[in-house]
Structure 1
């Protein structure tokens, strides 16, 4: 799997969220470099779990919708008169 790439804006938002979490939940200040390092670590090591879960959820949603479409198509079936 390729390394996850984020825009500068996305990365900056994630860094801010890590810094905010450390500050509010742990009572510790963390610099931008350290926060970015953590973001990169989690993206590389934990991110694939979330990515795969998203794929499984998407597959499930698509499968469910395809079943609905199949049912709707079967409702359009017309009776056939045998022997004519």
Structure 2
């Protein structure tokens, strides 16, 4: 699967800090930048597409509802 998720350097660094913080606070484990970056890469490659696809489905359902609303504006 082609992964088109691109992060700015600043966003990637912020996410790595979040991962490091999570592991330290929730698991009492200290991770370095490399390990945290690899976890982030795994999430982006394997998990994020499912959330993206769910977002697409949610938008599709929302837009279909709005189209039905528009059809109700017809004049007879």
TM-score, length of structure 2 as denominator length: 0.88
Larger radius of gyration: 1
Superposition RMSD on alpha carbons, in Å? Answer: 1.2
Partner of 2:7: 6
Partner of 1:55: 56
Partner of 2:28: 27
Aligned length: 75
Give the gaps of 5 or more residues in structure 1: 79-84
Partner of 1:66: 67
* Runs of at least 4 residues off by over 4 Å: none
